[in-house]
Amino acid sequence: MVVSSSLTSLHQRSVTRDANLLRQIFSNLDATSCPHTYNFHMHTVCSDGKLTPASLMDQVITIGLRGFAITDHHNIKGFHQAKAWLEDWRWRNPTSLRQRQQRHSLEGLVPRLFTGVEINATLAGTEVHLLGYGFTPDHEAMAPYLQGYGPRGEAKMAAVVIAAIQAAGGLAVLAHPSRYRLSPDVLITQAASLGIDGVEAYYAYANPSTWTPCPRQTPIVKALAHQHQLIMTCGTDTHGTNLLRRL
């Protein structure tokens, strides 16, 4: 593969503290982690979801999530609104904080919000979605991907998207690898060769009324993740009004 000079300049890895924390969290996830403890795939009205960031945050608190990321398409407006909401909530709810302290001891009292985004990319000639986590939001490498619309040309190549997320200190993950035209084997193998960090392993493809990772696809994706030494993530990919479901 011919690597352009722009890709080479992007691929200067600088991992953020959040990305390191996320690696630790991802390494301990299992089929029961989502949607009541962690959720790293959700959308708001800032892209194609139905929840406002404030409504989403109400559910985050009610559910009792320890860590989560809003992954709107090509923008982080929802992240900024949720961050402001969370900071305000922290000071207005000392009683709720004490209740959370009794339930959680690992990630602290306030649910941990990480930067997140979902980006259209071309991988093995197929359009896929790549998730970025824990990146520095104002890093110049992410600017082309946070304009509210999908990238084009070279900027859409999976190798370039992955390099941009990593240059901004984040982790790059292949979203729902069993939802595309090509098999997860082909896509994950190709993504791994480009230096991707992980795959979304725990995903409810059939959108069951009670969220649960797909019993058929999850073992396949997990096996490929182990084969290529990739981290595994989880998320509901919520587009509707309920964080416990995809639609």
Gap between the terminal Cα atoms of the chain: 38
Verdict on whether the full-model pTM lies above 0.85: yes
Give the pLDDT band (50/70/90) at residue 15: confident
Which structure tokens are listed for 244?
């416990």
Q: Is the pLDDT of residue 213 over 80?
A: yes
The pLDDT assigned to 23 comes to 97
Give the pLDDT band (50/70/90) at residue 219: very high
CB 170 within 8 A of CB 231: no
Residue 187 has φ and ψ, to the nearest 5°, of: -70, -45
The pLDDT assigned to 97 comes to 58
Instruction: Please state the rounded mean pLDDT for residues 172-181.
Output: 98
Instruction: Please state the rounded mean pLDDT for residues 125-146.
Output: 98
Q: Is 51 helix (H, G, I), strand (E, B) or coil?
A: coil
The pLDDT assigned to 110 comes to 79
pLDDT tens-digit readout, 54-111: 999 999 999 999 999 999 999 999 999 999 999 998 878 766 655 655 555 434 467 9
The pLDDT assigned to 93 comes to 73
Place of tokens 């004490």: 98
The pLDDT assigned to 92 comes to 80
The pLDDT assigned to 106 comes to 37
Q: Is the pLDDT of residue 2 over 50?
A: no
The pLDDT assigned to 102 comes to 55
The pLDDT assigned to 6 comes to 52
Q: Which of 246, 91, 97, 232 is nearest to 173 (CA)?
A: 232
The helix (H) or strand (E) run that includes residue 102 is helix 94-103
Determine the distance from the C-alpha atom of residue 57 to the mean position of all C-alpha atoms in its chain, rounded to a whole number: 16
Domains within the chain, CATH numbers bracketed: 5-234 (3.20.20.140)
Q: What percent of the chain has pLDDT over 70?
A: 88
* Per-chain mean pLDDT for the chain: 91
Give the pLDDT band (50/70/90) at residue 203: very high
The pLDDT assigned to 224 comes to 98
198 or 9: which carries more pLDDT confidence? 198
The pLDDT assigned to 1 comes to 39
List, in order, residues 6 or more apart from 55 with CB less than 8 Å away: 241
CA–CA dist 187, 192 (Å, integer): 8
The pLDDT assigned to 91 comes to 79
CA–CA dist 237, 175 (Å, integer): 9
Q: Is the pLDDT of residue 167 over 70?
A: yes
